[in-house]
Amino acid sequence: MLRRITLAVGLLATLVLLVSIGIAGAVGNQFSADLSWDNEVPPAVGTTATGSALFTLNAGQICFDITTSGLTGPVLADHIHNAPAGSNGGVVVSLQGLLNGCVAANQQIIDDIHQDPEDFYLNVHTAVNPGGEIRGQLEPFVAVGGSTSFLTDSAGSNSSIALLAGGVAAVVAIVTGGWYTRRRWLRS
């Protein structure tokens, strides 16, 4: 009897793990950037501004959430450029001076970002630093902690929350061959 319960719990845990992995797979569509004045080429002047950005790449669009601190003035423009660290490159996606939202993007650019995110950077421009005040290379987003929220468009596409704690519990149950109850480990 105990063996059947353990098997049932193991199967349920596996199902939870597979669902968690399926939902969490969307993290592969997310990229981040650490923004700093000294990442600019040449470095920005008269500022010590920093920031961060999170991008979600969907079919034909890029959603983003940018946080800044210490800018010398309002954001005049922000763009994704194509160039590795230490080099300047052309604008490939305009974020229209917004700090969050979604914009249309060429699918080939989205595919290129997936392929080599480090070859793209976000640049935030101000009046004092019209060439860019803060910059950061894109990199794959790595979720830290128990859950990850996904940026969505106004229609709510790609909206999901990955609850990875269930997946971790499932891995523990599968690896140990048992499941913890309040009083003891159940083993087969």
How many structural domains compose the chain?
Answer: 1
Q: Which domain holds residue 92?
A: 2-180
CATH number for 116:
2.60.40
Domain-located, residue 187: no
* pLDDT value at 139 more than 70: yes
Separation of alpha carbons 116 and 141, rounded Å: 13
Task: Tell me the per-residue pLDDT of 107-135, one tens digit each, with 9 for 90 and over.
Answer: 999 999 999 999 999 999 999 999 999 99
DSSP state of 85: T
**For residue 29, which of 147, 151, 123 has the smallest C-alpha distance?**
151
pTM of the shown model: 0.66
Separation of alpha carbons 120 and 94, rounded Å: 13
Task: Tell me the per-residue pLDDT of 145-177, one tens digit each, with 9 for 90 and over.
Answer: 544 444 444 444 433 333 333 343 433 333 344
| 71 — pLDDT class (breaks 50, 70, 90) | very high
